[in-house]
Amino acid sequence: MGSFKLVSLIFILHFLCPVPIFSDSSLNSKGVSEIPTKFLNFAKNLVVYDWMVGIRRKIHENSELGYEEFETSELIIAELDKMGIGYKHPVAVTGVVGFIGTGGPPFVAIRADMDALAMQEMVEWEHKSKRPGKMHASGHDAHVAMLLGAAKILKEHEKELQGTVVLVFQPAEEGGGGAKKILDAGVLENVSAIFGLHVAVGYNFPIGEVFSRPGPFLAGSGFFEAVISGKGGHAAIPQHSIDPILAASNVIVSLQHLVSREFDPLDSQVVTVAKFQGGGAFNVIPDSVTIGGTFRAFSKETFMQLKQRIEQVITGQAAVHRCNATVSFLEKEKPSFPPTINDEDLHKYFRKVAGDMLGIHKVNKMQPLMGSEDFSFYQEVMPGYYFMLGMENKTLEQLKPAHIHYFKINEDALPYGAALHASLALRYLLDFRQEASLLEEKYHDEL
pLDDT digits (tens, 9 = 90+) for 335-370: 999 999 999 999 999 999 999 999 999 999 999 999
**pLDDT of the residue at 435:** 66
- Higher per-residue pLDDT: 278 or 334: 278
Per the annotation, binding residues are 140, 174, 198, 403
Bond preceding residue 338 cis, omega within 30 of 0: no
The pLDDT of residue 392 is above 70: yes
Helix (H, G, I), strand (E, B) or coil at 372: coil
| Region of residue 365 (left: phi > 0; alpha: psi -120 to 50; beta: else) | beta
Per the annotation, binding residues for Mn(2+) are 140, 174, 198, 403
**pLDDT of the residue at 398:** 83
Indicate the pairing of strand 284-285 with strand 233-234.
antiparallel
Alpha carbons 346 and 385: distance in angstroms, whole number = 6
Query: What would the pLDDT profile of 408-431 be if each residue is shown by its tens digit?
Result: 999 999 999 999 999 999 999 998
Alpha carbons 197 and 274: distance in angstroms, whole number = 28
Query: What average pLDDT does range 290-294 have in this prediction?
Result: 98
pLDDT band at 395 (very low <50, low <70, confident <90, very high): confident
Query: What would the pLDDT profile of 86-140 be if each residue is shown by its tens digit?
Result: 999 999 999 999 999 999 999 999 999 999 999 999 999 999 999 999 999 999 9
Query: What would the pLDDT profile of 226-270 be if each residue is shown by its tens digit?
Result: 999 999 999 999 999 999 999 999 999 999 999 999 999 999 999
What percentage of the chain has pLDDT greater than the value 70? Answer: 90
The pLDDT of residue 51 is above 70: yes
pLDDT band at 4 (very low <50, low <70, confident <90, very high): very low
Spatial contact of 158 and 426, defined as CB atoms under 8 Å apart: no
**pLDDT of the residue at 10:** 45
The pLDDT of residue 7 is above 70: no
- What single letter denotes the amino acid at residue 93? V
Find residue 220's DSSP bridge partners.
297
Spatial CA neighbour of 365 closest among 205, 207, 221, 219: 205
Class of residue 231 by CB neighbours under 10 A (exposed 0-12, middle 13-18, buried 19+): middle
Contacts of 440 (CB under 8 A, 6+ apart): none
CA 26 to centroid of chain Cα atoms: 34
Helix (H, G, I), strand (E, B) or coil at 152: helix
Average pLDDT, the chain: 92
**pLDDT of the residue at 23:** 47
**pLDDT of the residue at 320:** 98
Helix (H, G, I), strand (E, B) or coil at 391: coil
pTM beyond 0.85, yes or no: yes
Helix (H, G, I), strand (E, B) or coil at 122: coil
pLDDT band at 277 (very low <50, low <70, confident <90, very high): very high
pLDDT band at 394 (very low <50, low <70, confident <90, very high): confident
The tally of CA atoms less than 13 A away on the side-chain side of residue 434 is: 10
Alpha carbons 346 and 326: distance in angstroms, whole number = 43
Find residue 46's DSSP bridge partners.
none
Indicate the pairing of strand 95-101 with strand 164-170.
antiparallel
| Per-position b or e across 273-308, b if 16+ CB within 10 A of its CB | beeeebbeeeeebbebbebbbbbbbbbeebbebbbe
